[in-house]
Structures are given as C-alpha cells and as structure tokens.
C-alpha cells in the first residue's frame, strides 16, 4: 500500500456506517470495500445471526418463522451498540422495517441507503435460493411489492440515500465517502 493510501486510511474518525437497502442492493459487497478504504472492521447482521444461532437464515425462517428472525435482528443491533466498535455494518434488507431498529441504527451511526432499480435487483436475485422472502411466485412482483412497502421506511432510516445504478463498485464506494464527508 502507498503512503498516500495509508494516510487516508488512518484519517477516518467518524461514527460507524450502516448500509441498508433491498436484498441484492450491494450492501455486503460495497460494505466490505468501504470498510477496507476506511480501515474499519466490516460486519453483517445476517452473518452475525447465523454465527450466534448456528443456523442459516433460511433454517431460522423455516423453523421459527419471520417474527422470531426479526427479534434476532433487534438483539443484534443492541449487541452492536454494547460492543461500541466503530465499523461498517451491513444490515438485512428487512431490518429497517421495525421502528425500534431504525432508532437503534441512528444511535449506532450514519445510515446509508443503497438504492438499486427493480431491473438491477431482478437480475441480481434471479435464481437465489437463500432468501426466504423471494421464494415462489414471480420474482419481479415480489420485489416490487416489498420495495413499495419499504421505500418510505428506508428513507426514514437513512442519513443519506445513494443510487448505485450504472456505477462501478469503486465509484459507489467513492460516492458514499464523499456524501459522508459533506
């Protein structure tokens, strides 16, 4: 790594950055790159839940139902608050739906809404078997219905909203950094 990059990495003194948005909007991919740029740890609520429970998200939904999973998400945010580590945090697409979670996220840090078009989401999510809410029926219709129900809640949760269509990962990460500085 060059001296300039090193210096840039050491300068992040802000709060944690949370990435929210629909399934397939790039939260994990972009989150990992952003964390690398800022020299922050990266974490993902779905991954943490799977690790903590020893079960996959798919198994939790099938065995316990969605409401149980939503409780685990809220618990995870509380645990992150207790840990108090400045990080880049990618959260599950449905996590911001609960009002309490939106409040907890605001306490945790800056909330960035990654917004992708329905076409992009359909392309990225077709063939996915890991996300229980997208199984069965017409994928586009499911995405449209869920997005419509969630859009206002994502906007309510977000500090900033960033549209990613047509941008490379590098451009997206740079754009988010710029937004957060401004």
Nearer to ligand S3P, 37 or 46 (CB): 46
Pairwise CA distance, residues 54 & 39, whole Å: 29
Please, what is the minimum distance in Å from the beta carbon of residue 51 to ligand S3P? Answer: 14
Closest separation in Å from C-beta 81 to ligand S3P: 19
Tokens standing for residue 169: 């990962």
Distance CA 93, CA 46 (A): 10
> What's the DSSP call for residue 94?
T
CB of 7 to ligand S3P, least distance (A): 33
Residues lying near ligand S3P in the complex (CB under 6 A) are found at 23, 27, 46, 57, 92-94, 131-133
CB nearer to ligand S3P: give 57 or 176.
57
By CB atoms closer than 10 A (0-12, 13-18, 19+), residue 75 is: middle
Closest to ligand S3P by CB, 10 vs 59, is: 59
| Shortest distance in whole angstroms from residue 53 CB to ligand S3P | 13
Residue 75 contacts residue 139 (beta carbons within 8 Å):
no
Nearer to ligand S3P, 106 or 124 (CB): 124
CB closer to ligand S3P out of 9 and 120: 120
Residues 6+ apart with CB under 8 A from 11: none
Smallest separation, CB 15 to ligand S3P (Å): 22
Distance of alpha carbon 119 from alpha carbon 112, whole angstroms? 21
Q: Which of 178, 149, 147, 146 is nearest to 162 (CA)?
A: 178
């Amino acid at each position: 790594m060059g001296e300039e990059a090193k210096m840039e990495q050491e300068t992040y003194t802000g709060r944690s950055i949370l990435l929210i948005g629909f399934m397939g909007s790039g939260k994990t991919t972009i989150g990992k790159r952003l964390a690398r740029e800022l020299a922050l740890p990266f974490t993902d609520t779905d991954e943490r839940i799977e690790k903590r429970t020893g079960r996959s998200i798919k198994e939790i939904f099938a065995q316990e139902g969605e409401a149980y999973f939503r409780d685990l998400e809220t618990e995870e945010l509380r645990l992150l608050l207790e840990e108090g580590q400045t990080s880049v945090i990618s959260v599950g697409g449905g996590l911001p739906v609960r009002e309490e979670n939106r409040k907890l996220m605001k306490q945790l840090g800056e909330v960035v809404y990654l917004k992708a078009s329905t076409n992009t989401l359909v392309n990225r999510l077709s063939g996915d078997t890991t996300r229980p809410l997208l199984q069965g029926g017409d994928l586009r219709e499911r995405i449209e219905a869920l997005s419509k129900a969630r859009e206002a809640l994502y906007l309510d949760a977000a500090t900033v909203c960033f549209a990613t269509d047509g941008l490379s990962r590098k451009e997206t990460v740079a754009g988010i950094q710029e937004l957060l500085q401004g």
